[in-house]
Amino acid sequence: MTLEIKSITLGIAQTNCYFIGDTETKSAVLIDPVAEAPLLYKTAQDSGWTIKLILATHAHFDHVLASKELKELTGAPFYIHADCVPWLERLPQQGRMFGMEQFPEAATPDRLLTSDPEMIELDGITLETLYTPGHAPGHLSFYMREHKIVFSGDALFAGSVGRTDLPGGNAQVLLRSIVEKLLPLGDDVRVLSGHGGITTIGRERQLNPFLQDINIDD
Q: Please report the pLDDT score of residue 1 as a whole number.
A: 59
Burial class, 114, CB count within 10 angstroms (exposed 0-12 / middle 13-18 / buried 19+): middle
pLDDT tens profile 21-58? 999 999 999 999 999 999 999 999 999 999 999 999 99
**pLDDT above 90 (res 193):** yes
Over range 86-102, report the average pLDDT: 84
Q: DSSP letters of the chain?
A: --EEEEEEEETTTTEEEEEEEETTT-EEEEE---S-HHHHHHHHHHTT-EEEEEE-S--SHHHHTTHHHHHHHH---EEEEGGGHHHHHTHHHHHHHTTSPPPPPPPPPSEEE-SS--EEEETTEEEEEEE--SSSTT-EEEEEGGGTEEEEETSEETTEE----STT--HHHHHHHIIIIIGGG-TT-EEEESSS--EEHHHHHHH-GGGSS-----
The pLDDT-based confidence of 214 (bands split at 50, 70, 90) is: confident
**Whole-model pTM?**
0.95
Domain residue ranges of the chain, discontinuous segments joined by +: 3-211
Look at domain 3-211 and name its CATH class.
alpha beta
Average pLDDT for the chain: 95
Q: Please report the pLDDT score of residue 175 as a whole number.
A: 97
**pLDDT above 60 (res 209):** yes
